[in-house]
A = this chain, B = another copy of it.
Amino acid sequence: MNNALLAPIKCGDCPIRHRAVCARCDDDELTQLESMKTYRTFAAGDVVLWRGEPLEFVASVVSGVASLSKTMEDGRTQMVGLLLPSDFIGRPGRTEIEFDVTATTEITLCCFSRLPFEKLVDRTPHVAQRLMELALDELDAARDWMLLLGRKTAREKIATFIEMLTRRAQLDQSGSVEALDLPLTRDQIANYLGLTLETVSRQFSALKKDGIIDFSDRRHFVVNDLAALHEETGDDADGGILS
């Protein structure tokens, strides 16, 4: 594995302190975690974990984006999840995973050796509860994605994807946002949305021609009309969560 080890920052100063698996920990529990953790960074494109490989560590994403993907024998691949800061890799009681984990941008992980971490989970309900919440959130996201993959048109898929990135950016840095970063290549977006990269490119061009979005650059876009964008997603009038 071509990754680098870093000196971890203190949990108290950690940007994902309030959202990660440690969100509900008290000071004592945090001290235990602090003594177990190591940081690792991976470059964009590096594989973090291979499907079926024995899991040596579990981890939280501190910064960057990683993807979970499944590949068929003939090379067709489908992303089955995106890991953003505060998301967790690995599960108690599982010694391997059913998909590959790849860094799509440079990422930093806060890693814990699997066995000591599992022991900690057994005696700290705060961690077990938070792990459960994270798993259920992933399940909800997976089900939304199943609707997208099974029933949405290419245009709706792209609009949904852009809206998701926009919503997430609003959460992170609440306030006015200029150009947003596209953390995936066209090919990766295609694998996420169950499309080909050509179709992704064509739909981006179409949304741009219709004045809904603009690209300052291949990797940066702005949404000109959020309401019009939402119209294209095929979702409910207010999307469940009024923005």
Contacts and interface: CB of A to CB of B under 8 A. Distances in A.
Interface of A: 68, 70, 72-74, 76-78, 80-81, 91-94, 98-99, 128, 131-133, 135-136, 138-140, 142-147, 149-151, 193-194, 234-237
A211 B107 CA distance: 50
How many subunits of this chain does the assembly comprise?
Answer: 2
A80 B133 CA distance: 19
A94 B136 contact: yes
A78 B151 contact: yes
A1 B118 CA distance: 43
A234 B133 contact: no
A151 B80 contact: no
Contacts of A147: 70, 72, 78, 80
Contacts of A76: 151, 234
A89 to B, nearest CB: 13
